[in-house]
Amino acid sequence: MDVTISQSRVEGRVRAPPSKSYTHRAILAAGYGDEAVVSDPLVSADTRATMRAVEAFGGSVDRSGDDARLEIEGFDGRPEVPDDVVDCANSGTTTRLVTACGALADGLCVFTGDDSLRSRPQGPLLDAIDQLGGRAESTRGNGQAPLVVGGDTGGGRVSIPGDVSSQYITALLMAGAVTEEGIEIDLETELKSAPYVDITLEVLRDFGVEAERTAEGFTVPGGQSYDPTGGEYAVPGDFSSMSYLLAAGAVAAADGEAVVVEGARPSAQGDSAIVGILESMGAAVEWDREAGEITVPRASLSGTTVDVGDTPDLLPTIAALGAVADGDTVIENCEHVRYKETDRVSAMAEELEKLGASVTEERDRLTVHGGESDLVGARVDGRADHRIVMSLSVAGLVADGDTVIEGGEHVDVSFPDFFDALESLGVDVERAE
């Protein structure tokens, strides 16, 4: 689907979607348990993949209401061997979390996904499962899906790199709680995207599971049960998705007006760093933490330097902001952002250049020369990546003329109502199949 964004001024109130990261973890945590309700979940392409996996393991997910509540009957720590191959679609989070879960099965599980997912690295997680006595293989021998795992893994000690994906750590912690021995994780390298593991630890606590950091990495005792207080877990708002709405206010709010984003209560989400990033660029951001509301008027932005080692999902948003700001915006420590749904470093460099931005791309750094950029509407490729699509939409708000974004339907991965939200703020949006 092509989506056309016209140069626009925005104003009004809009609610951020629920957190994708928390929703994934909550659905699987409920699956590991007996039964639980996940309220206020994000129901999207990615999280539906996690629901399908829970059902493949012998659980059930009841969405008979209005998607505001998921009633989940779990597999009580013992996943069944799925009847068929489990399709994780485009969801890397699903793949990694359920791969560790599948290693607990008394038999073999097969996980695969679309072209993009089958190009993403899974080798360190497969190696970790092998260290724990399970069976874990890539069918093509390249550390990528399709994956075959199983072996009724009982836990133990594992050594794994921390600079490829924090999702490996999350997967092992969640599975380790229901093993007999538990799992001790030794990190071989510095942990990237550490706030995402903080999210995992927060969700585990809320489900009554003990896990903690150690001098070497992390540990989770075995023999535990997943059981949230009162049998229900509520998902907080998503700061990754919120970043596009906040950026829209900063670059395109109408004179004397602002964008107010609801659902912004504090949590362990590292991407709440977008508030400080906007402030460092000169935006007058007001965050009422108690009410969960962030207000952002338009500002004359200046370039800044941001290390995205812990916040890789913010790179596309920051790059779009940098194309509007005066001076250089330098995004550092970003090599790991190349291993997402697409190479987001190259994708943002190439697509922003189509819009007239001046960009310098290096392996671990992206510099957007805002002072040398003059954005003009053009046809750009969303790269079948929800975050690229939404970030280019932000740039399109200030580009002269119309910006046509290919692959607009991919926002369904994390923010299905994104374009409706933009329209509610006054953006002229046209969709063409």
Q: What's the pLDDT score for residue 93? A: 96
Asked if residue 165 belongs to a known ligand binding site, the reply is: yes
Q: Are 2-17+237-432 and 20-234 in the same CATH fold?
A: yes
Using DSSP, state whether 111 is helix, strand or coil: strand
Q: What's the pLDDT score for residue 65? A: 73
Domain boundaries defined on the chain: 2-17+237-432, 20-234
Asked if residue 46 belongs to a known ligand binding site, the reply is: no
Radius of gyration, alpha carbons of the chain:
21
Identify the active-site residue in 46, 271, 310, 313.
Answer: 313
Is residue 144 over pLDDT 80? Answer: yes
Asked if residue 120 belongs to a known ligand binding site, the reply is: yes
In the predicted model, what is the mean pLDDT of the chain? 97
Residue 341 tokens read as: 């749904």
Asked if residue 354 belongs to a known ligand binding site, the reply is: no
Instruction: Determine if the peptide bond prior to 79 is cis (ω within 30°).
Output: no
Is residue 70 over pLDDT 90? Answer: yes
End-to-end Cα distance, the chain: 4
> Closest Cα to residue 267, out of 295, 244, 304, 240?
240
Q: Say what the pTM is.
A: 0.86
The CATH T-level fold of domain 20-234 is UDP-n-acetylglucosamine1-carboxyvinyl-transferase; Chain (3.65.10)
User: In this predicted model, what pLDDT tens digit does every residue of 30-41 receive, in sequence order?
Assistant: 999 999 999 999
Give the CA dihedral 196, 199, 201, 207, nearest 10 degrees.
-140
Q: How far is CA 253 from the centre of its chain?
A: 26
CATH 3.65.10.10 fits 2-17+237-432, yes or no: yes
Q: Are strands 135-138 and 147-150 parallel, antiparallel or unpaired?
A: antiparallel
Is residue 64 over pLDDT 90? Answer: no
> Closest Cα to residue 356, out of 386, 390, 313, 400?
400
User: In this predicted model, what pLDDT tens digit does every residue of 382-399 receive, in sequence order?
Assistant: 999 999 999 999 999 999
Mean pLDDT, to the nearest integer, of 198-224? Answer: 97
Asked if residue 118 belongs to a known ligand binding site, the reply is: no
Q: How far apart (Å, rounded) are the C-alpha atoms in residues 283 and 243?
A: 13
- Torsion-angle region of 268 (φ positive above 0: left; ψ -120 to 50: alpha; else: beta): alpha
Asked if residue 344 belongs to a known ligand binding site, the reply is: yes
DSSP for 126-187, written as a single string: HHHHHHTT-EEEETTSSS-SSEEEES----EEEEE-SSS-THHHHHHHHHHTTSSS-EEEEE
Q: How far apart (Å, rounded) are the C-alpha atoms in residues 358 and 339?
A: 23
User: Are 175 and 203 contacting, i.e. CB atoms less than 8 angstroms apart?
Assistant: no
Q: How far apart (Å, rounded) are the C-alpha atoms in residues 87 and 56?
A: 10
User: Are 366 and 331 contacting, i.e. CB atoms less than 8 angstroms apart?
Assistant: yes
CB atoms within 10 A of CB 84: 7
Mean pLDDT, to the nearest integer, of 303-319? Answer: 97
- The contacts of residue 10 (CB under 8 Å, 6+ apart) are 248, 249, 252, 253, 254, 257, 259, 397, 422, 425, 426, 427
Q: Higher pLDDT residue, 174 or 192? A: 174
Whole-number Cα distances in Å, 45 to 20, 89, 135, 236, 431: 10, 8, 29, 18, 19
Active site residue 67: no
Q: What are phi and psi of 87, to 5 degrees?
A: -90, 110
- The contacts of residue 127 (CB under 8 Å, 6+ apart) are 136, 160
User: In this predicted model, what pLDDT tens digit does every residue of 90-125 receive, in sequence order?
Assistant: 999 999 999 999 999 999 999 999 999 999 999 999
- Torsion-angle region of 206 (φ positive above 0: left; ψ -120 to 50: alpha; else: beta): alpha
Q: How far apart (Å, rounded) are the C-alpha atoms in residues 254 and 163?
A: 41
> Closest Cα to residue 145, out of 123, 168, 112?
112
Q: What's the pLDDT score for residue 304? A: 98
Asked if residue 313 belongs to a known ligand binding site, the reply is: yes
Asked if residue 21 belongs to a known ligand binding site, the reply is: yes
Asked if residue 166 belongs to a known ligand binding site, the reply is: yes
Asked if residue 167 belongs to a known ligand binding site, the reply is: yes
